[in-house]
Structure 1
C-alpha cells in the first residue's frame, strides 16, 4: 500500500479545486488506491443559513471530488446527473472529509458515489452518472 498522492487541479480557475479561484472551494484532492479524498472546511464565502454551509457549495464539492475519480477510471467524462442527500447541516469551519469512488464503470458511463463525513459521521452523500467523452469535447 502506497501513500496517498496529491492530484493536480482540473484547472487553475476551477470553482471546486482551482488554486487561483478566490471564490472557489480550492479543494486539495488526494488519491488513495481506488478512492479520492479531500479535507475541507467551508467558510463564510460559502455560507447558507447562519453558521452553516450552503447546500449549493456542498453540491459543488461533491461534483468536483467525484470528477477526480476520472484519474482512477483513466478516461475523460462529464457529469450527467448529480443527486445529493443532505443528512445533517454542515457547520462552517469544521473539517469535512470528502471521499469519492467509482461504483460502476460501464461502456459509456461511470456511476460514482461520494460522502462527506465529520469525525466519521456522514453529513451528506451523493451519487452521480458521468458520461465518457473524447478529449476533443474540451
Structure 2
C-alpha cells in the first residue's frame, strides 16, 4: 500500500514541539516510529504547564470495525502517550497497568488529539490520565499506573 498523502499534525497555540525519541529512545518505534506510514502518525507537544499533548492520525493499517480504528490500536497509542507523559514529567517508568475506556468508534484517517497529565506520584507509583478526542467527541479515556525504574 503506498503511503497516504501528508497529514496536518500541527499543535495548538502555546504548544511547543516535544522530541519524544530523544527522551526515551527507540522504545517509541512501535506506534510513532513511521512518521509517514499508513499505521499511526504522531507528533508530540508540551504546553506551558509541561503537560504532554499529541496529534495523532490513525491510518488504514489500524483498522478494526469497518472504517474505524481497532481498539488495540487505540490502546497502543494510549500506552505510548501516557507512559511518555510520565517520562516527560521526569519519571523514568514502565507501565504497570493501563485501563482504556472506549467512548466512541474512531473513524480511520482522522486526526485526533490526545491530552495527558500526571495526576499523582507516590513512591514508585505514578498515575497518569489521558483522553483521545476531536472537538466535543471523546473516543477513549485512559488511566495508567506507571512504576519508576530503580536506578534511573
TM-score where L is the length of structure 2 = 0.78
Alignment of 1:1-138 (within 5 A): 3-9=15-21, 10-12=24-26, 14-19=29-34, 25-32=40-47, 33-134=49-150
Whole-angstrom CA distance in 2 between matches of 1:15 and 1:22: 12
Question: What value does the CA root-mean-square deviation take over the aligned residues?
Answer: 2.2
The number of equivalent residue pairs is: 135
Unmatched runs of 5 consecutive residues or more in structure 2: 1-13
Aligned partners of 1:15 and 1:25 also within 8 Å = no
Moved more, 13-22 or 28-37: 13-22
Whole-angstrom CA distance in 2 between matches of 1:36 and 1:16: 16
Unmatched runs of 5 consecutive residues or more in structure 1: none
Aligned partners of 1:11 and 1:18 also within 8 Å = no
TM-score where L is the length of structure 1 = 0.85
Task: Give the secondary structure class of the aligned counterpart of 1:93.
Answer: coil
How far residue 105 of structure 1 moved from its aligned partner, in angstroms, is 1.2
More helix by share: 2
Whole-angstrom CA distance in 2 between matches of 1:107 and 1:78: 14
